[in-house]
Structures are given as C-alpha cells and as structure tokens.
Structure 1
Amino acid sequence: MDLFIDHDPAGRPLADRMRPRTLDEYIGQEHLVGPGKPLRRAIEADNLHSMVLWGPPGTGKTTLARLVAGYCGAQFLQISAVLGGVKEIREAVAKAKSARGSGQRTVLFVDEVHRFNKAQQDAFLPYVEDGTVIFIGATTENPSFELNNALLSRARTYVLKGLGIEAVRRIVDAALADGERGLGGRPLEIAEPLRDLIAAAADGDGRRALNLLEIAADLAEPEGGREVVSEAIVREVVAGGVRRFDKGGEAFYDQISALHKSVRGSNPDAALYWFTRMIDGGVDPLYVARRVVRMASEDIGNADPRALTLALNAWDVQARLGSPEGELAVAQAVAYLAVAPKSNAVYTAYKAALQDARENGSLEVPIHLRNAPTRLMKELGYGHDYRYAHDEPEAYAAGETYFPEELGERVYYRPVPRGMEIKIAERLAYLAELDRKARGRGD
C-alpha cells in the first residue's frame, strides 16, 4: 500500500526521495511501530491522537507523522517552529476547519516544536482540545523542559531512539537497490565494507547516512561502464570534508564528551579546540552553554564558586546576543573552567545524599525541626527545643542534630584540598570539633 505518490522525484535529495511510504518500509523504532506495538496498532486501527515525537535528528519523526496522517486519511499540514509563528498557526487552523467541514481530519505537524515560545504553543492549544487538529510535534529536546504542561497533558510522548548501525545499513542498502526513488538505476559499485563505513559515520542518523551516500555517489569515478565509489572517496566524505549535517554533526556526543573531559583535565587548549570543532560543525551554542554550566557544578564546584557564575553569565550572553559574541563568552567560560581548581565533592555528596533519600523511605522530620505556625502544632511540641543558630556563640548551635533519628549522622560532603574548599574544609573541621565538645566526646 503506497500512501504517498511521488510525482516528481527528480531534483530532490535522496533522503527525501527515500522517505518510507508504509510502516513496512519504515526502518527502526521497532519498540514503537513493530508488529503488535501499541502505536502501530493505534495507527492501523485509525485511532488518531495527539503526540510528541522526541528523538535525535534523522530518526524518522517527520516520516512517522506523515505515515500517521496517511494511514488515517487525514490532511497533513506541516509548519516549522523555526520559520513559523502565530500567523502560520492560524492559517493551518483555517485549513483544518475547512477540511473538518467536509468530514476530513487534519494532522498538524510542528517540526522543532521546542522552539515555539509559550504564547505560540498556547495559540494552537484550543484547537487541539476541540479536535480541530490532531497535533503531532517533533523535538530533539526534552519535552518536559521545552513544552507547556497544558500541551504535554493533551499529547502522548513517544521516544525515538538513534538508529543502530544495522538499521542504518539497511537504509543505505535500500537506497542503493531502489531504482525508482533511490540509486538503483545507476551502475554504482560500492563495496560492503564501505557501506558499513557510511552507516557507522551516520551516528544513528538515517538522513545523514543518505546524505553521505548521495555525496559519495556523486563523486563516483567512471570505470568500464560502472560508477565506482572508492574507499578514498568514502573516507573523504565521512571525515568531514563536507559540511556536517544537522545539529549533532559527526560524532556529536563524542565531541561533547571530549570537551567535558578536557575541562576536567585542566587543558584549556584542548577544551577550546573541541568547543570550536562543535561550533564549526553547526551545533546549537546554547546546548554547549548548558553543558558548560553542568561542568562548573560537577567538576569545579566549591573549589571556585565563581566558575558557576561565569558559566551562567556566558549562557545568558549567548541567549541575548547570539553569534558570534555569544560564542566568545562561552569560550571564555570554557577556558576559565579548564584552569580553575577542580572538585567533584558536591557532585559526589549529592549522589550519596540522593541514594540515602531513595533507599530510606519517608523518614519523619525530627520534631524540633518542624515549623509551628498554629497553636495545635505548638501544643504537639513542633519546634520545641529548637536552637536558633543566630542566638548561639559564633552563630552555631554546637551539638545540634538535623538528620532523621533513624538515619543518624551522615557525612556526604568532603571538600578537597584545592581552591576555596581548603577554607571550607577547615571551617567544617572546626565546627565538627565544637560538636564533639558539646556532645561530651572532646577533650
């Protein structure tokens, strides 16, 4: 069953020409659309519902949205959150109302929906609620952080995964075999290991794999009536000789890992190299800025609290000014974090405290730490015997306890002997000595 008829495939990119027309042609995401899976059953049963498709670039979000509309006989309208706004939403809604009048449903597909602000998301929410449109949003960002709760509550979120090498290889092979939409009509010759190399270089992105394949095919050398794609050609294409595709680019996650580890390893030169590699590859600088804030907390922490402030300021500059001024501010933060004293003491303490919180259940707050805003609470002893630290010598209630009784005393935070944490450690040691004396365990 062909749901989409391509009347004029010439001149369109290979990745667009090879867009799957049926669920059987759709490669990957078997956890969602494999035989018997809930989403596939819903599609085949004509059970349309609003949804958010969350996953990396090139994993089939747009294609899946088109398939949903095609299987259900719905009008498919697509707008981009990058280029569109409230005006485009209104135009789409008008078309949907017209189609509804003639008994046809409408799928409104919003690509990169995370780029819509709250007002723009609110603009089409009423039409999702009253059934004028079936909303399908595609996003590479966590929808919990980027989409309104009101919109999320009315749409089911499906998580698409990066394609495995085997799945990408199947996409490559399908394009080489298809004589109607793909490259099967050409006498191309590309060895099996070179197909594997393209699949691996795509890093889970089916569209990127087809783009790389198309470039390699265009560079094929004539040889005895054949068009031969040599190893040299493939290696040149996948090595970055061609502008990278999509937000991730080549080895995106490896590069962000290299940046983080270079900062942690106190190498500003390597950190700046990986940062500029990612910027040159087309990464969203705001993504890097967010990761730099994470580095400041995870790897510098209280050894130099200024690192977090500088990272946040760089993120703010990037958001306010954009390129290229923003990237310079982020570069400044990257260099500063790399040379700052390192400590993961807070990060380690946080994980240890979180583990205790998860493993020990809902332990009662000690009664002396409870708030007592009412007379009944005071009669029950809430806040009784609480020692107000500011009324104590040195503003410290020596010997006071703050953990649940069942848990006992815990030590999560252990400052390292670097940067400002040297002073913090000295202060904590002094306070611990006051506690020991107050509890009768000191000299």
Structure 2
Amino acid sequence: MRPLELDDMVGQRRLLAEGSALRRAIESGHVHSMILWGPPGCGKTTLALLLARYSDAEFRAISAVLSGLPEVRKVLAEAEHRFAEGRRTVLFVDEVHRFNKVQQDAFLPHIERGTILFVGATTENPSFELNSALLSRCRVHVLEAVSPEDIEHALRLALADSTRGLGDRDVRASDACLSQIARAADGDVRRALTLLEIAAELAAGEGGEITEATLLQVLADRTRRFDKGGEQFYDQISALHKSVRSSNPDAALYWLARMLDGGCDPIYLARRLTRMAVEDIGLADPRALQMATDAWDAYDRLGSPEGELALAQLTLYLASTAKSNAAYTAYKMAQRDVAEHGTQDVPLHLRNAPTRLMKSLGYGKDYQYDHDAEDGVALGQTGFPDAMGEREYYQPVPRGLEIKLKEKLDRLRSARARAQGRGDS
C-alpha cells in the first residue's frame, strides 16, 4: 500500500501542500539533500522513494543499524560510477543518527559534488544527533505523526484495493472499528496497516467481518510511542515538571501516567519528583521533600504496580501545594559568588580555636555567642569573608511557610544592617 504518487501520501499536508517549496522541488525533479525528521510510520521512506521516482534517479537504501563503513563506501562507489554515466542516486539512510561522526563524514564530499541526493531519516532531533557539517549540507524537513483521521483513510484504501491491499479477501469493518485501529496505531500508518492485516486474518474465520471481539484480541497489548533515551522521553519529563510547577495536578498526573505506560523507570520518576520538591516547592512547603522521599521509599518496598500509586499521590501533592524557587535561586547566587571571589579567608571571629597558639593568633576573638544575645541573635557580627561584606541570597516568596520566613528574615536583616552600621537594608 505504499503510495506511488505524491497525491497518495497520507498525512504531511503542511509539508506537501500544493505550492509548498518541497512539493514544487519534487514535482520539478530538482530536489536537494535533506534530513527527514519524524516519528515512526509517518512516511519518511515513502517520501524518499517518491523523490527518486520524480527525479528519475536510482534509489538505494541502507540502514545505520545494519550497515558499517565498508558497506557505505561500496554504495558510494556505485553511486560515483552511476553519476559518471549521467544518472543520479537517491541514497536513503534510515536511522542516520545511529552513524558515528566518521561514518557521517563519509557522505560529505559526495553530497557536495552532487554524486548522491542524500536523504537521511531520523526519529531523533538532528540538532543533537547529527554532525553540524552534515546538517549544513542538508535541509531539515519535519514530518508529523499522522492523524487518526488520515490513518482511517489509509485503512479504507487498504480494504478497497484488491491489487495491493485486502480488497480480494472480502474483509469488512465498521467505521467504529477502523477508528479504534487508527487510534491504537498512535500516529504510525505502518503499524495501523499491520494491525488491520492481523485483524483481517482473524476475521477470515468469522465471515470476514472485523468486530469488536476481533479487535479485543488484536489490540490487547498495544503500547504508546515512547523512546526511553530519545527526545520524546525528555519532552515528556519536561511536560511533567512544568505541569507540577504550574500547579496543574491533572496535567501532571497525565504525564506521569504516560511515562509509566511507556516503560519509564519509576525510580527515575521518583528521583525527578524529589528534584521538583526541592527546586519548585522548596521552603514554601518543607513537607514536600519528606513526602518525596517517602514515596520513593514506598515504591522501593512495594514495586510495581502498587508503588506507582505512591508516585501518583506525590505528583498530585507537589502540583497542588505552594511553590517557591527561592532556595534554588539563592543557592545559584551563592555558587556564583564562590566562583567569582575565589578562596576567601574565614573571618577570625568565626574560626575555631582549639589550641593556645590559635587563640594567640586571634582565632575566635570577638566572636559573639548568639544564645547569650538578646532574642538569640548576635546582630553585630558578619558571617561572610571580610572582603565580600554581607550578601542576601535568599528572598522568600509570599507563599506557604515562606510568608513567615520572610517576615522574620526582613526584621533580622534590617536589625543586622543597623547594628553593623550599614543603615536600613
């Protein structure tokens, strides 16, 4: 059922719209080397085949998973020979991001000379996975996951086509069943056609009718798209973190469920949720950190699936409670000062003096013991190196427990500034 004409392509309406730059280039036969970036089953291989057909070029395909440098060199040598005879080659490299730098560099001179029309397919972000030298010689086209409506259209074509599809098998399916398959395919046309074919084989013994009972068998173990090490992984953990930060417990719970459904390691999620407790909730609600470590411990004890409920409960709490990044921001400011000011001496009054020599050198001299001071705070002494002076990193926000912390710190800082002759802070 692979399309033989541009008009037969399912999905990619934006990229291949009438009058679009890529469509005009393909139809005129003047195509360029390119990277096709998109999820599985969205039409990358099909588009490469159409490029070769419209350009009247030889189509050669290699897989970065299965091919090494010797095979790459062999294919490139064949393309050189073909080019010398006046015929071009569309070289399609599937999973191009799996090639290392040396392997990717092997294509560069051939792309520059025009020996090949290079078409690399990748499911990963080219900015991170491909060499800048290869990217600079190719145009990146982004393909999107195919919509359920477009996948339904492809399924109907497959049922009707008696030459390349299932038209000669007298297979029937209701719109509701086709819609179910299309949704289960999760944007992957190839997967949808595979599911349809399995359903058709099962339906052969049931009069050719694909029913809900048939689909119950076919779709029982379907999974959603999720790449544990790829961009989808980082996009989804980003969505989870930002939903917690935005105090949207429903969205946060959805992304947690998506990642668990996709096979993400629950311990990784426990670690990231703990990070959220200290970065985004902080001292606005110190209970969040305790709850995070408790949920982590609960998962360790219970395992899956029972322990996942502890992570869900934690996610809901983190997203619902008061937020503050004041501690996170204060720590970053302190780190910058450490880097900027280098190794500063500890003020003498703060140094420990366990020996007579140290005392004679002034260690601990003029130190004011806070418990003996009024209100338990010795305001007249600094806690910073002499060359730096006082600093104020921590700025509590007017939310949660930090409301009280802010009130107290504002009073102390003002009193400390007056006592040290720095005026009102």
Tell me which interval the TM-score lies in, with the shorter structure as reference length.
0.5 to 0.7
Query: How many Å apart are 1:130 and its aligned residue?
Result: 2.1
Cα separation, partners in 2 of 1:175 and 1:184, compared to 1, 3 Å: same
Secondary structure, aligned partner of 1:32: coil
Cα separation, partners in 2 of 1:142 and 1:83, compared to 1, 3 Å: same
State yes or no: 1:231 paired with 2:215.
Answer: no
Cα separation, partners in 2 of 1:119 and 1:109, compared to 1, 3 Å: same
Q: Higher Cα Rg: structure 1 or 2?
A: 2
Q: TM-score, normalised on structure 2? A: 0.64
Query: How many Å apart are 1:186 and its aligned residue?
Result: 0.8
Secondary structure, aligned partner of 1:78: strand
Cα separation, partners in 2 of 1:70 and 1:292, compared to 1, 3 Å: farther
On the 8 A contact 1:260/1:295 being kept in 2, the answer is no
State yes or no: 1:394 paired with 2:383.
Answer: yes
- Per the alignment, residue 190 of structure 1 pairs with 173
Please report the RMSD computed on the Cα atoms of aligned residues, expressed in angstroms.
Answer: 4.8
Query: How many Å apart are 1:188 and its aligned residue?
Result: 0.9
On the 8 A contact 2:395/2:406 being kept in 1, the answer is no
Distance in 2, Cα, partners of 1:258 & 1:143: 19
Of 173, 178, 189 in structure 1, the residue corresponding to residue 156 of structure 2 is 173
On the 8 A contact 1:53/1:159 being kept in 2, the answer is yes
Cα separation, partners in 2 of 1:440 and 1:259, compared to 1, 3 Å: closer
Show the 5 A alignment for 1:18-417. Answer: 18-223=1-206, 226-238=207-219, 241-242=220-221, 277-279=261-263, 297-298=275-276, 300-301=278-279, 345-346=324-325, 393-395=382-384, 397-398=389-390, 414=397
Query: How many Å apart are 1:338 and its aligned residue?
Result: 9.2
Distance in 1, Cα, partners of 2:83 & 2:200: 45
Distance in 2, Cα, partners of 1:178 & 1:235: 25
Query: How many Å apart are 1:77 and its aligned residue?
Result: 1.4
Cα separation, partners in 2 of 1:435 and 1:131, compared to 1, 3 Å: farther
- Per the alignment, residue 313 of structure 1 pairs with none
Q: Which amino acid aligns with 2:138?
A: A
Secondary structure, aligned partner of 1:107: strand
Q: TM-score, normalised on structure 1? A: 0.61
Query: How many Å apart are 1:159 and its aligned residue?
Result: 0.8
On the 8 A contact 2:93/2:120 being kept in 1, the answer is yes
On the 8 A contact 2:186/2:224 being kept in 1, the answer is no
Query: How many Å apart are 1:297 and its aligned residue?
Result: 4.9
Paired residues, what number?
335
Q: Which runs of 5+ in 2 are unaligned?
A: 284-288, 290-302, 330-336, 338-343, 348-380
On the 8 A contact 1:398/1:435 being kept in 2, the answer is no
On the 8 A contact 2:256/2:312 being kept in 1, the answer is no
Cα separation, partners in 2 of 1:22 and 1:434, compared to 1, 3 Å: farther
Query: How many Å apart are 1:19 and its aligned residue?
Result: 1.0
On the 8 A contact 1:300/1:344 being kept in 2, the answer is no
Deviation digits for residues 150-196 of structure 1 (CA, Å, limit 9, x no counterpart): 11111111111111111111111111111100001111121111111
Cα separation, partners in 2 of 1:271 and 1:193, compared to 1, 3 Å: closer
Deviation digits for residues 222-256 of structure 1 (CA, Å, limit 9, x no counterpart): 35xx4121111113322xx356597669xx99x96
